[in-house]
DNA sequence: ACCTAAACCTGGGCGC
DNA sequence: TGCGCCCAGGTTTAGG
């Protein structure tokens, strides 16, 4: 569920809550899948007594940096949450030395919690909001790629953080059909798409993420960007620009929303 | 290297 | 109330 803006919102919420606090204990609640090989025992052994220095985000990952040099890596999958207040789907509880806890909760258990004794090497493309992600670089990345642009936007190895909602939104804003092959994009279109990606992600962050069904911030509150989505989830509704009906199609097994008239 | 489809899960909403 | 079906902001894996 969560894409870059949602993960970034959680990061901003949770960092002040955990910063300079030490981890006292780890509890799990049927979290075998989420914790993979490492059980709560193993994880606790690795991080107990360690202080969280900061929380970073890379793509859709949260990285809790510990004073030992180790890192706690959390990916939220589709329904994962990092919460200051538990809900009924809590899988892992992290007890802090100030008497408080933060929680990893996940309904579908596509999310994961991992430990690295060093800064994790993540196979991710550039950060779309970073200064070094330029339109020129984006164009270079897309050169000779034969897949369609919608699928490529979801490829985390190409670009880190864009997911299904923001991909549809960015393509809409740039007037590009999600069915287009990347090779067919003109320089102008790549420039527009680059700008649109950065715009929708920034707007998403500003509005504290998009809540379609599950997403919540660290306090359990919904985001606000769902009210501002232009096409995602709006099949049959009027296109904000031309008033013709927005269509839903399936590309790469994922729902894709677009305006057939505005997006060529 | 690149591209695609299937698999991994649970729960909510809908029609009957 | 209940059942069956569809849907879901994600990644990994296997195969072409």
Cα–Cα distance for residue pair A93/A32, rounded to 1 Å = 13
pLDDT in tens, A42-101: 999 999 999 999 999 999 999 999 999 999 999 999 999 999 999 999 999 999 999 999
Residue A183 pLDDT exceeds 90? yes
This prediction has a pTM of: 0.97
In this structure, which topology does domain A135-258 adopt according to CATH? Helicase, Ruva Protein; domain 3 (1.10.8)
Catalytic residue among A24, A199, A254, A261: A254
Cα–Cα distance for residue pair A38/A254, rounded to 1 Å = 32
Q: What percent of chain A has pLDDT over 90?
A: 97
The domain spans of chain A are 4-116, 135-258
- Map A2-69 to HEC letters: CCHHHHHHHHHHHHHHHCCCEEEEEEECCCHHHHCCCCHHHHHHHHCCCEEEEEEEECCEEEEEECCC
Query: Is A2 noted as a catalytic residue in this protein?
Result: yes
Residue A5 pLDDT exceeds 80? yes
* Whole-number pLDDT of residue A152: 97
Q: How confident is the model at residue A36 (pLDDT cuts 50, 70, 90)?
A: confident
Q: Give the CA A87 to C1' C1 distance in Å.
A: 27
Instruction: Return the closest-CA partner of residue A64 out of A75, A76, A53, A77.
Output: A53
Cα–Cα distance for residue pair A195/A212, rounded to 1 Å = 24
Cα–Cα distance for residue pair A53/A65, rounded to 1 Å = 6
pLDDT in tens, A135-149: 999 999 999 899 999
| CATH for the A4-116 domain, from 3.40.50.2000, 3.20.190.10, 3.10.110.10, 3.20.20.140 | 3.20.190.10
Q: Residues near chain C (nucleic strand), Cβ < 7 A? A: A 1-3, 6, 59-60, 75, 77-78, 108, 110, 154, 156, 163-165, 209-215, 254-255
């Amino acid at each position: 569920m969560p894409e870059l803006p949602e993960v970034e919102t959680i990061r901003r919420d949770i960092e002040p809550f955990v910063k300079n606090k030490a981890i006292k204990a780890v509890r799990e609640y049927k979290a075998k899948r989420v914790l993979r090989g490492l059980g709560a025992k193993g994880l606790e052994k690795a991080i107990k007594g360690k202080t969280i220095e900061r929380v970073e985000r890379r793509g859709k990952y949260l990285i809790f940096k510990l004073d030992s040099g180790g890192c706690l890596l959390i990916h939220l999958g589709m329904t994962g949450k990092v919460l200051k207040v538990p809900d009924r789907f809590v899988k892992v509880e992290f007890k802090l030395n100030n008497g408080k806890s933060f929680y990893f909760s996940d309904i579908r258990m596509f999310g994961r919690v991992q430990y690295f004794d060093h800064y994790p090497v993540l196979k991710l493309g550039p950060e779309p909001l970073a200064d070094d992600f330029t339109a020129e670089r984006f164009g270079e990345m897309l050169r000779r790629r034969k897949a369609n642009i919608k699928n490529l936007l979801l490829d985390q190895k190409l670009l880190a953080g864009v997911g299904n909602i923001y991909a549809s939104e960015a393509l809409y804003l740039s007037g590009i059909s999600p069915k287009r092959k990347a090779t067919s994009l003109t320089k102008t279109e790549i420039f527009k798409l680059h700008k649109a990606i950065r715009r929708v992600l920034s707007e998403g962050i500003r509005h504290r993420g998009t809540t379609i069904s599950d997403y919540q911030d660290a306090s359990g509150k919904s985001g606000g960007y769902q009210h501002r989505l232009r096409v995602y989830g709006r099949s049959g509704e009027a296109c904000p620009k031309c008033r013709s009906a927005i269509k839903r199609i399936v590309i790469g097994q994922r729902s894709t929303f677009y305006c057939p008239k505005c997006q060529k």
